[in-house]
Amino acid sequence: MLTRRTARQIVVPPVALAVQQIQAMNYEEWAQYRKQHEQQTPRHSEEEGSLAEMRLARREGMRAAKHFRVLRRSRRLYQNKLEQERLRRDGPTRRATERQRRKKRGYQYCKQGNYGDVE
C-alpha cells in the first residue's frame, strides 16, 4: 500500500518568535511594550464568576507573564550580545574599564629573621 507524504508546515517555537520579535524592537518600542504589559496585568485576581472562569483568567495571566519573562530575558541576552560584539570590534571604553573590579593586593610573605635556624 502506498502512502503519500503531505508537506508539513514548519512550526517555529514561541521562544524563537520572541527572539525575532525582540531583535526587531528598538528601545522606544520595548519601553512601550513594557508599559502596555504593566497596564494590562491585574494586580490581584478578582473572585467573580464561576471557578472555571477564574481558573481560565489565572491561566491566561500566567501565560502572559511567562511570555513577558521570555521576552525580557531574550532582550537582555540580545543586548549583552550586541555589547560584546561592540567591545570586540571597538575595544573597551574607559567606562567599561572603570566598571571592572580592581585587584586587591594579597599578603606578601617576607623573611623577618626571627628564627635563625629555620631560614
Q: Alpha carbon 79 to chain centroid distance?
A: 9
pLDDT at residue 21 in the model = 74
The tens-digit pLDDT sequence of the chain (119 residues) is 455 666 666 665 666 676 777 777 788 888 888 888 777 777 666 677 788 888 888 888 888 888 888 888 888 888 889 888 988 888 777 676 676 677 777 777 777 777 766 65
Q: Residue 3: what pLDDT? A: 56
pLDDT of residue 14: 64
The pLDDT of residue 97 is 67
For the chain, domain boundaries: 14-41+50-99
